[in-house]
Chains A and B, each alone.
Chain A
């Protein structure tokens, strides 16, 4: 079976990648097996380490993730949120705008 993906710029062989991944995994496991044997599960040794801070009581929730990204782009998100108003009139309006833009692009580009 043909596993090689030939693209316009080169080729890609997934099976070679899998073989390389297996070798790297084997090396990683070898290194791990040579680590400290006295690790005790269920004690504070297995708790997450948050840069010296006290461990938090619960999980880190989804709403906490990428907070900085969303906060940093708050202005852009406000714009996008305004465009996603949830009002069905706006949905229909966007279709009209699309049709007009498309018609202009096609007529200008297609008849040139």
Chain B
């Protein structure tokens, strides 16, 4: 058996294991030299990215992976007819979010190389980054509730560590708040998992879904509400969004890019639990809740973003609004899944497509804002202006991000938002109007940043040149955005349609695991 065949066969497990290996070995390699540590971290992340992309390609080719950790034959998770092992599941949906999160993590690490180069204790920083990346992979692929809880905790603790890492009083406060709400959410989640375990005597998602009666019991619904509340908290949806602006303001921008991915993964987990475990019996009730909370997130996010004067805090509020679009799309799809006109499916495509676009758009904007902070050492909007005279490339990259996040053609944000508007309009025009108004206000918010930071008289303060290793991740994201914007049909056909199909196909999910 060649190394390549082992790599391909065990990609699912390697995707989780590689970043964890990197996390624990980075401090040891750091003893050799800082350069060796950086090379090691990049090599680990590049290998994990390769695993994520090859897994996605394989899964999209019609081979979903079901991997039993520790089994003599990992392809047979339930040889005894009962899945007692930890099962990792990679279908088109989970492989897509895993590839997305890993790509964003790799770009964040490349960006970190120069952005953080002057700081001390970087081996611990990279350990936390890799730990967060590994936990996110675990969250994407896990097939049982307890492993989900464990990876959620690893991701939360490493996120809190990263928010507080470059210590200031404000960053400690933001990390403390995040830790408290995150721990509260984890307890809710654990309680929900405990209720399901009490009811069914197992933790495997597919087995629980398979054992559920046609009509949900009281315990099922109570458990679902606890699970969804906890995951909405992690995603930063209204009304449990307050930690987000605090954390986004204090964490390094490339870490915030990973936090955006983590928030989107939390939404993915809600969709996975609703569609793959609970199924059609909870669709209308949970659909209305998710869609209304999505509309509220859009409204509160953009309205609160308008008066902000701190660049990163403003983006924190904008991120709340962007999460709202995904919730609006998928929430509406839960409402209209059985509609014969196909509105429900269309809405779901819009929601999943926007997950992809949100991660990329917010990623680019955050990295540009980070570059502004790096170059000027300032993040208050009133303190910087006229930066377009000093770095036209930075202004151009920011403009691409702005146009996309505001949903203007021909960029990627427009493609996903137009699907959401159209399909949501058919279910409830008011929700669609809130979405469109939110986009207009989003444009206003980012025009404010662009006008005050990049336009005006040339900036006269100290301006550090932006290094190439920081520019490359931004350019990569901008190119991806333009490509998706110009070929939205291709992305929908190759990535979004199979992902939606995998999420909806409960039989395939149960059949693969059981």
Contact = CB atoms under 8 A, between A and B. Distances in A.
A77 B288 CA distance: 27
Contacts of A80: 300, 303-304
A91 B292 CA distance: 20
A111 interface: yes
Interface string A50-84: 00000000111111011001100100110010001
Contacts of B220: 110
A41 interface: no
A6 B353 CA distance: 13
Nearest to B453: A62
Interface string B264-300: 0000000000000000011011101100000000001
B229 A8 contact: no
Interface of B: 176-177, 180-181, 184-185, 188, 215-216, 218, 220-222, 224-226, 228-230, 232-233, 239-240, 242-243, 245-246, 281-282, 284-286, 288-289, 300, 303-304, 306-307, 309, 341-343, 346, 381-382, 385-386, 409-410, 415, 418-419, 422-423, 426, 444, 448-449, 451-453, 456-457, 485-490, 492-493
Contacts of A6: 489
A70 B288 CA distance: 31
B240 A95 contact: yes
Given A3-B488, A70-B306, A103 B451 contact: no
A9 interface: yes
A3 B490 contact: yes
Interface string A18-37: 10010000000000000000
A59 B490 CA distance: 44
Which 7 pairs between the two chains have the least Cβ-Cβ distance? A109-B285, A62-B381, A59-B456, A2-B489, A62-B452, A8-B346, A14-B410
Given A5-B492, A102-B225, 13 more contacts: A2-B493, A3-B490, A8-B419, A12-B409, A14-B415, A14-B485, A59-B457, A60-B452, A62-B382, A63-B382, A98-B232, A98-B240, A106-B221
Given A5-B489, A102-B229, A110 B221 contact: yes
A39 interface: no
A80 B452 CA distance: 25
A17 B216 CA distance: 48
A8 B119 CA distance: 51
Most buried by B among A12, A21, A95: A95
A27 to B, nearest CB: 19
A88 B181 CA distance: 8
Nearest to B284: A109
Main SS at interface, chain A = helix
A80 B296 CA distance: 12
A30 B218 CA distance: 70
B457 A69 contact: no
Interface of A: 1-10, 12, 14-15, 17-18, 21, 58-63, 65-66, 69-70, 73, 76-77, 80, 84, 86, 88, 90-92, 94-95, 97-99, 102-103, 105-111
B288 A88 contact: no
A72 B314 CA distance: 20
A33 B164 CA distance: 55
A67 B228 CA distance: 38
B410 A65 contact: no
Contacts of B300: 80
A99 B431 CA distance: 23
B281 A110 contact: yes
Contact of A106 (B180, B282, B423, B486): B282
Nearest to B486: A14
Contacts of B245: 84
A61 B220 CA distance: 53
Contacts of A107: 218, 221-222, 225
A98 B288 contact: no
A11 to B, nearest CB: 9
Nearest to B353: A5
Contacts of A60: 451-452, 456
Contacts of B386: 59
Contacts of A73: 303
A88 to B, nearest CB: 5
B234 to A, nearest CB: 11
A69 B447 CA distance: 15
A41 B452 CA distance: 23
9 contacts: A8-B419, A14-B415, A60-B456, A61-B381, A62-B309, A77-B303, A91-B180, A92-B181, A106-B224
B282 to A, nearest CB: 5
Contacts of B216: 110-111
Contact of A65 (B229, B451, B486): B451
Given A91-B181, A94-B240, A106-B221, A3 B346 contact: no
Contacts of A86: 242, 246
The interface centre, meaning the residue of B225, B228, B243 with most chain A CB atoms within 10 A of its CB, is B225
B307 A106 contact: no
A44 B113 CA distance: 45
Contacts of A77: 303, 307
Contacts of A62: 309, 381-382, 448-449, 451-453
Contacts of B342: 8
Contact of A94 (B239, B426, B457): B239
B224 A15 contact: no
A63 B246 CA distance: 20
A74 B242 CA distance: 20
Given A91-B243, A106-B285, A106-B289, A1 B490 contact: yes
B306 A69 contact: yes
A4 B381 CA distance: 39
